[in-house]
Structure 1
């Protein structure tokens, strides 16, 4: 006799669908919290690790707490309503607190714990509901499969679709709305089995979230206006970073992940000091490589010299596009991206250096500070050794190296790392390493490290005409360090231990936290 397959009821289908949806929302909240902590608290690896650990531990607490929920159906509805509010308003609340009071660690982790506990309650409650409604052939692993599938979808969609198209603020509210949709549909599917109180709370929550979504752009504008002193003329979250450009009269500033990259009032000091010593010490530099520098300012300075080709490698295409085409930003670099000698490659710097076979007379490293492991690897002995294989005989490399005042040990760690890098043209010998620094008012006392394959015959620079800041006496003074910024003991930075990140974070926290 043929056995008929058990009929799956619409309620079972909905509960499994709800499992998938709440898993998506839960992981999105975790990723938003991790991104927020990285943006606002620094050291992305440390913060991602903290967020992951605290969230998973909180989920464990939530799974344990779920046993005390007498009726799983109303319990699941309440969990979704509370998640819609706490998770939905996670980013708006944290950004607002950061803008107004500057302290976000405690509220961020408090909200994360709440979200984790509520998320941990979901699967046990759904499993109990499935058993209560007599789901035939119920297997707990089926629920977990839908949960893990939702986590996969969220992890893939977050960097590719959600951040670029919604941004953190709207994404937080949108997935809060998703939890509320799950709550609302559950209230309807199981109508008659859930009381009036969850319905009333759901109506209030959906109105608040709807209002938040409707006013999300205004919330972003008000919060950013509080964060930045000047008018915001551009703001966008890309898969790589948050880009913000501000303006006050004729003064323009660029911020990446809320950290200033240049101020048009004094950027000439930074970029002239970065570019011209290396260009001026190498005889007749022709082929130049710039790593980072997507704003085109270093490129502008390079093009003051009679070069033949410049390759600029920057990870984020949105930055290079913005400073190529934006009518208010392209003039800042003298429309340097339009020069036919320039080739722009949007790629990871390590991968580019690893795969190119070109030889460069001068390499200029204009990358963000090494505040996390991803950036620290580009300040490592391993990367420098690989890079020196791409430097022509008689060539030079220069890197921005942070502040010898604010992060003194980090700066000298970069110097130590260059001194520990082998010279490909003189096996067994090191490079000629020259540390120097300048005052850039927007940043403070700022340091650079220049490394040459050969010992320069003279340290006098062959400078182009028309520079606004750098000259012979300034260059001579730049190589002198005062007692509070002079050399101190520091370890070489390696991909094995990333000593530089701890030096950097500790130094800046000493001054500004």
Structure 2
């Protein structure tokens, strides 16, 4: 009989239960680390498919390497398990913070992501052989039954960790502090297994080492937890040229609002960023929103649908028309709507449009909402983020524009923001082709928005290409009949080209957008 078995004596059943519960906890922690890396990468770069593929591939490979590396550690399984859990708690708990810092200061995002994913995966992979050895030392049983018990606890733990991350940790603690809290739990679980179940088999020196290492890990994580807010604020100053006046991480994205000092007697520049991408600058956003909204309003416009545009700026232009009786604003992220309703600088910019009595705000995914929508709209404004991420690519598909067509009145119009025909000409052409593939007649046009550069739009209607004209109730700051006529003319090197449409099955627009914007 081994020393560990002798130490456990007749308490093998409670000891096995305790070890399997620790397996459950460690598995939950491991999956949280994995999801935190994927989520942080999506917030920073937006390409969730690439992030997920890289993290999963590297971690699974590293888990195999970690399992092999753990073979010689089985001779001192309890002490080795304590060391592995302490290291995993430290690396996993600080993983998101390290990734954020490497992105903000050192521009080493990809090497850091791969290195951290490999380290976390290797340590997770080392857990299973050590846990199997400890389980067999408590009570020996055939390999199949032992593996079944261990993997059942492991997979159930992974389920709990996977659900806890989006529904509990992110809303309550955020990514950085959520990962640190899980790291602390991981360290405590590892120490509890070793000291509580196998402490009698360890020397006094080993017990002290395990306790000291656990306390050291908890101290590091505690300091990092307390200082994470300062690190975030300092990192944002590296990422954004102007002072950050508001920052939050919602369930969907990272939201940052900056405000520059006014130039001489001019107004300050208010800028909104979602996942690091500029959404507007207050100095020239009127150019974008006038070009987006007023051509589609030169027709029936009693009932208007706005998809996206939770900042209320497109809505502001729509509400300039006295003939508008009802507007439905569909925005995915309630945090954006709340910010646009409560931040004084944004309320002043959007004229309080989100609280106009003619407006009904719906918090929902635009694609999902359209599938269940009833009634018809005279004008539809599609003001959605660029299709450079998996989540937004579906909103530039044939299927999506077919749903838009279903809610359009027979004489209605739809306008789509279509990206830059200069920086991403193939993406622009693909969006134009996709709109047309849904049975809409479409006309492209583009204007200059200094913060964005050359920016394009697509105006469409069910009965054929609508005339590109405007009839605003009052003169606009930027858009005139002459400017709009010129907007329909493209230079020879940027004329829209024939393109295959983008679909849910083949999201060409995502591949084109990521490849073209990568150069800038």
Shorter-chain-normalised TM-score: which range? over 0.9
Match of 1:80 among 85, 101, 116: 85
Larger deviation: 119-128 or 454-463? 454-463
Q: Does 1:48 align with 2:46?
A: no
State yes or no: 1:142 paired with 2:159.
Answer: no
TM-score normalized by structure 2? 0.91
**Does 2:75 match 1:67?**
no
Aligned residue number for residue 211 of structure 1: 223
Q: Which runs of 4+ in 1 moved over 6 A?
A: 135-138
Is 1:384–2:391 an aligned residue pair?
no
The equivalent residue for 1:248 is 260
Contact 1:34 1:47 in 2 (8 A): yes
SS in 1 for 2:410: strand
**Superposition pairs of residues 103-114 of structure 1, within 5 angstroms:** 103-114=108-119
1:275-332 Cα shifts (integer Å, max 9, x gaps): 111112x2x3110000011111100110011201000011111211221233332222
Question: Does the 8 Å CA contact 1:359/1:391 hold for their aligned counterparts?
Answer: yes
Per the alignment, in what secondary structure is the counterpart of residue 399 of structure 1? strand
User: Of 339, 342, 346, which residue of structure 2 is paired with 1:322?
Assistant: 339
| CA pair 457-80 structure 1, distance change in 2 beyond 3 A | closer
Query: How far apart are residue 470 of structure 1 and its match?
Result: 1.0
Residue 89 of structure 1 aligns to a residue whose secondary structure is helix
Q: The residue matched to 2:518 in structure 1 has which SS? A: helix
Deviations 1:349-382 (A, max 9, x none): 1121111121001100011111123211111111
Measure the CA separation in 2 of the matches of 1:504 and 1:374. Answer: 13
Q: Name stretches of at least 5 consecutive residues in structure 2 with no aligned partner.
A: 1-9, 262-267
User: Does the 8 A contact of 1:275 with 1:298 survive in 2?
Assistant: yes
| Partner Cα separation in structure 1 for residue 317 and residue 514 of structure 2 | 30
- Quote the offset at 1:201 in angstroms: 3.4
* Alpha-carbon shift at residue 112 of structure 1 (Å): 0.3
Using the TM superposition, name which of 24-33 and 483-492 deviates more.
483-492
Check if 1:267 corresponds to 2:274.
no
Secondary structure at the counterpart of residue 244 of structure 1 = strand
- Look up the match of 1:474: 483
Q: Residue 273 of structure 2: SS of its match in structure 1?
A: strand
> Does the 8 Å contact 2:443/2:465 carry over to 1?
no
* Partner Cα distance (2:149, 2:109) in 1: 38
- In 2, are the aligned partners of 1:167 and 1:236 still within 8 Å (CA)? no
Which residues in structure 2 correspond to 1:465-504 (within 5 Å)? 465-504=474-513
Contact kept, 8 Å, 1:312 with 1:343, in 2: the verdict is: yes
The alignment of Structure 1 onto Structure 2 pairs a total of residues equal to 496
Change in Cα spacing, 1:438 to 1:105, as seen in structure 2 (3 Å) is same
Asked if 1:308 corresponds to 2:315, the answer is no
- 2:22 alignment counterpart: 18
Q: Distance in 2 between matches of 1:332 and 1:296?
A: 9
Unaligned runs of 5+ in 1: 1-5, 423-430
Cα deviation 1:226-283 (Å, max 9, x = unaligned): 2212222222222211112122233211111121111111111111111111112x2x
Shift of 1:7: 5.4
Measure, in 1, the Cα distance between the counterparts of 2:468 and 2:517: 32
- TM-score by length of structure 1 reads 0.92
Is the 1:246–1:253 Cα contact (8 Å) retained in structure 2? yes
State the SS of the aligned residue for 2:118. helix
**Distance in 2 (alpha carbons) for counterparts of 1:32 and 1:336:** 36
Q: Deviations over 1:90-119 (max 9, x none)?
A: 111111111112230011111101100101
Correspondence for 2:314: 298
